[in-house]
C-alpha cells in the first residue's frame, strides 16, 4: 500500500473521456477567453477614463470587471495548454494556490452583486442620504464584513484540504483544482471537508442571493407606483436578479453533482464546475456594460472614435 502522504504531484484529468477530441475544446475556450479579456478591459477603460462614471454604482461595476478579468487567468490558460499539448501536471502547492485564487475571486462575484444591491437600495429608497451612506467611510461597514467572511471561509476550505493525506491516486477528475475533486483523492474521512464546503456554499452564494432578493423586494415595494423612474429601477434590479439566479443555479448544480455521482456523467460535472466560474466573466460585461445606458453610450463613442482615427489618413 502506498504511503498516505506520498502524492504531492497531481494530474488534472478532467474531460479525459473525450480522448483525441480534447484538442477540439481549445478553440471555443480560447475564443471565450479572448472575448472575456477584451470586453472586461474595454469596460474598465471606459469607466476609468470617463469622470462622469466615477460614481459608486459604476465603481462597483468596475470592481466586477476586475474580478471577471482576473478569474479566468488562474485556470483557463492551464486548460488550453492541457487541451492542446496535454500538459496536465500540477504540484500540491500549486493546486492549493490555484484553488484559493479561484474560489476567492468566485466568492467576490456574488459579493459584488450584494454591494450593488445595497447601492440600489440607498439610491432608490433613501435618495436624500445616498451620497452620505455611499461615501467610503460609511460604505466600509458593508464592505469589510463580507471581505472578512470570504477570506475566512475560502482560507478554511483550502487549509483543511491541504492537511489531508492523498493516497487514492493522483488524478484529479477536473480541469482545474476544484475543492471536492481534490478531496476525493484523500485517505480516511473527509466529512469535515464536505461539511465546511457545504457551509461555505450557504454562507457565501446562497446568503448573498437571499440578501439581494430581500433588498430588491423592498425596492420593488417602494417604486411600484413611481412611474418611469420606478420602471427603470425595476429594470436594473431584474437584471441583477436574473444574473444572480443563473449563477447560483450553476453553482448549486456543480456542487450537488459531486454528491449525486450516479445522476450525472463526469464530463457534465466538470463542464458545470467550469462554467459557473467562466460564464459570469464572459457575459457580465454585456449585462452590466451594454445594458447600462451611460456605459453603452461611452463604449459606442469610444469604438466610433477609434474607428474614425483608423480611417483618417495621417
Confidence of residue 1 (pLDDT cuts 50, 70, 90): very low
- The confidence score (pLDDT) of residue 273 equals 76
User: Is pLDDT above 50 for 311?
Assistant: no
Show the cell assigned to 200: 461555505
Confidence of residue 144 (pLDDT cuts 50, 70, 90): very high
Confidence of residue 314 (pLDDT cuts 50, 70, 90): very low
- The confidence score (pLDDT) of residue 73 equals 92
- The confidence score (pLDDT) of residue 180 equals 81
Listed by start position, the domains of the chain span 9-304
Nearest alpha carbon to residue 299 among 10, 40, 37: 40
pLDDT digits (tens, 9 = 90+) for 71-96: 999 999 988 888 888 788 888 899 99
CA 210 to chain centre: 17
More confident site: 15 or 49:
49
Confidence of residue 227 (pLDDT cuts 50, 70, 90): low
- CATH node for 9-304: 1.20.1070.10
Confidence of residue 105 (pLDDT cuts 50, 70, 90): very high
User: Is pLDDT above 50 for 310?
Assistant: no
Show the cell assigned to 24: 477540439
- The confidence score (pLDDT) of residue 312 equals 46
- The confidence score (pLDDT) of residue 305 equals 61
Q: What is the mean pLDDT of residues 151-160?
A: 94
pLDDT digits (tens, 9 = 90+) for 266-306: 777 777 778 877 888 888 888 777 777 777 787 788 777 65
Q: What is the mean pLDDT of residues 146-173?
A: 89
pTM, entire model: 0.84
- The confidence score (pLDDT) of residue 90 equals 87
State the chain's mean pLDDT as an integer: 80
Amino acid at each position: 500500500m502506498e504511503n498516505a502522504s506520498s502524492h504531492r504531484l497531481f494530474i488534472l484529468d478532467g474531460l479525459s473521456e473525450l480522448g483525441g477530441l480534447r484538442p477540439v475544446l481549445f478553440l471555443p475556450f480560447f475564443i471565450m477567453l479572448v472575448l472575456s479579456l477584451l470586453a472586461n478591459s474595454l469596460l474598465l477603460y471606459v469607466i476609468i477614463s470617463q469622470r462622469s462614471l466615477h460614481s459608486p454604482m459604476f465603481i462597483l461595476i468596475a470592481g466586477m470587471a476586475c474580478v471577471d478579468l482576473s478569474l479566468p487567468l488562474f485556470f483557463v490558460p492551464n486548460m488550453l495548454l492541457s487541451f492542446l499539448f496535454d500538459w496536465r501536471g500540477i504540484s500540491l502547492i500549486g493546486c492549493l494556490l490555484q484553488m484559493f485564487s479561484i474560489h476567492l475571486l468566485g466568492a467576490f462575484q456574488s459579493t459584488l452583486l450584494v454591494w450593488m444591491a445595497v447601492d440600489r437600495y440607498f439610491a432608490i429608497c433613501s435618495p436624500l442620504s445616498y451620497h452620505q451612506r455611499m461615501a467610503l467611510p460609511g460604505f466600509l461597514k458593508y464592505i469589510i464584513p463580507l471581505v472578512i467572511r470570504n477570506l475566512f471561509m475560502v482560507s478554511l476550505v483550502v487549509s483543511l484540504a491541504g492537511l489531508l493525506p492523498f493516497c487514492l491516486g493522483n488524478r484529479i477528475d477536473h480541469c482545474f483544482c476544484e475543492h471536492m475533486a481534490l478531496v476525493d483523492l484523500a485517505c480516511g474521512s473527509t466529512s469535515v471537508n464536505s461539511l465546511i464546503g457545504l457551509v461555505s456554499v450557504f454562507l457565501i452564494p446562497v446568503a448573498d442571493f437571499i440578501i439581494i432578493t430581500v433588498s430588491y423586494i423592498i425596492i420593488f415595494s417602494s417604486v411600484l407606483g413611481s412611474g418611469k423612474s420606478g420602471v427603470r429601477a425595476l429594470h436594473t434590479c431584474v437584471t441583477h436578479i436574473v444574473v444572480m439566479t443563473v449563477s447560483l443555479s450553476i453553482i448549486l448544480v456543480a456542487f450537488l453533482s459531486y454528491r449525486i455521482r450516479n445522476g450525472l456523467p463526469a464530463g457534465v460535472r466538470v463542464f458545470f464546475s467550469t462554467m459557473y466560474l467562466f460564464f459570469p466573466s464572459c457575459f457580465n460585461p454585456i449585462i452590466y456594460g451594454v445594458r447600462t445606458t451611460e456605459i453603452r453610450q461611452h463604449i459606442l463613442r469610444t469604438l466610433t472614435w477609434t474607428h474614425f482615427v483608423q480611417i483618417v489618413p495621417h
